[in-house]
Amino acid sequence: NAGVTQTPKFQVLKTGQSMTLQCAQDMNHNSMYWYRQDPGMGLRLIYYSASEGTTDKGEVPNGYNVSRLNKREFSLRLESAAPSQTSVYFCASSVQGQETQYFGPGTRLLVL
């Protein structure tokens, strides 16, 4: 049981490049989330998926898109990366929306 896995662990992009962050969970959870963490800040929700087939915007969705590919996988896409998107990105999942959230190890993204 791997829990929540994220790939890649680290990525460097140039401004304007695109990339997709991958997240998968093997706990049969319904809800999945993408957060970003900036220095000295708590985590801020980018997008979430309450259940397979649904996605909703969080606090900071601009510049991102998501896809809930199936119950296990929830990907985050940056279409045109900007330096302001330099951050650590965390994926999380929970059985339902109002229950304990379990986090992946994070992806460190640097946009030059």
Work out how close the CB of 39 gets to another protein at its nearest, in angstroms, rounded to a whole number.
11
Distances (CA, A) of 19 to 32, 64, 102, 112: 19, 10, 24, 14
- Asked whether position 60 contacts another protein by CB under 8 A, the answer is no
| DSSP label at residue 73 | B
Q: How many CA atoms lie within 13 A of 96 on its CB side?
A: 1
Work out how close the CB of 111 gets to another protein at its nearest, in angstroms, rounded to a whole number.
19
* Site residues, another protein (CB under 8 A): 31, 33, 35, 40-45, 48, 50, 56, 58-59, 88, 90, 92, 97-103, 105-106
